[in-house]
Amino acid sequence: MLHTNVEDLKGWFHEDDVFVVDRGFRDSVDMLEELGIRAEMPRLMSRGQKQMTTLDANGSRLVTKIRWVVEAANARIKRWKYLAHVLPTNQVPFIGDYVRIVCALSNRYCKPLSTGSEDEDMALACKMRYLSTKVNSLKTFVEENCLDKKSVKWEVATDSLEFPNISEDDIRNLTCGVYQLKLCPSYIQEYLEGDVDILVHSEFHGLIRVKLQSRHVSSRQYLLWIQFSESEITAWYCRCRAGARVVGVCSHVAAVIWFLAIGRHNREAISSIQDWSEFVTDAAVIDESEDSDDSEVEE
């Protein structure tokens, strides 16, 4: 389809424009480049690779930051049940009209997807582009000093751990967005219910290590390290897929920072998360007090 509409497509963009696409275009990137179209999409890991490099993770974050508005707009459209599912071919002539109607309603009655100022957006973009060229110094430090080994001197942190007194706005500046920040309370609730400790290094001041559960795979846990001074977070590194990036932080790192800076001083923010496990019964546990003999059932 692209080959048959090349000239029409070129009328839509200018020289040096960039197409920001998702991974569904991974087989089309080479073809787009042959047509003179520069495309950017979240990076793919090679077979056997467990973590993206810092450069790739940084590049992926730039792409997902831009694509967020596309995903958010699509989510609004799919709030209408008709457009949330695959439609039969006999509806093709009408889909365009329905989408235009839904978009008009959204534009009229929904809040804008972006409420920030243009100057703030430009400042954030410049910051993220600057960070995307940096390396993760803490990752290098962890690997060179074998800080992932059990033999290294780590001690369980006490409640009096001196952690920077930062606000949610400060954490939002670290995450370069709100997605990770919104996940923090639920992530930390799982941490509090599990057998997980925050460890501090006995020799390197201002360095902690935590092991957190993966959100996607129940059998997987990730080690993470956070370095801080008296007033700010200075570095971070997580062993998750995108944890080596310095353009923002992953959800695991954000959750630990949020807990130490805010959550542990305001337990109500954590307890407000509903624990649905109380409504689930483990089928492997049999209540022997119940007897299936009809003769013992009270009438």
pLDDT tens per residue, range 217-226: 767 888 999 9
* Average pLDDT value over all residues in the chain: 83
Q: What does the alpha-carbon distance between residue 35 and residue 13 come to, in Å, rounded to a whole number?
A: 12
- pLDDT for the residue 63: 92
Residue 196 or residue 244, greater confidence: 244
Show Cβ contacts of residue 76 under 8 Å, excluding neighbours closer than 6 positions: 106, 110
Q: What does the alpha-carbon distance between residue 87 and residue 219 come to, in Å, rounded to a whole number?
A: 37
Q: What does the alpha-carbon distance between residue 210 and residue 162 come to, in Å, rounded to a whole number?
A: 16
Residue 284: both structure tokens together: 């492997």
pLDDT at 95 over 90: yes
pLDDT at 157 over 80: yes
- pLDDT for the residue 27: 81
Q: Provide the 10 A C-beta neighbour count for residue 206.
A: 17
Single-letter residue type at 1: M
Share of the chain above pLDDT 90, in %: 43
- pLDDT for the residue 290: 44
Contact (Cβ atoms closer than 8 angstroms) between residue 235 and residue 244: no
Mean pLDDT within 133-146: 94
For 25-39, 102-116, 267-281, which range has the lowest pLDDT when averaged over its residues?
267-281
Mean pLDDT within 204-210: 92
Per-residue model confidence as pLDDT tens digits over 162-185: 999 999 999 999 999 888 888 888
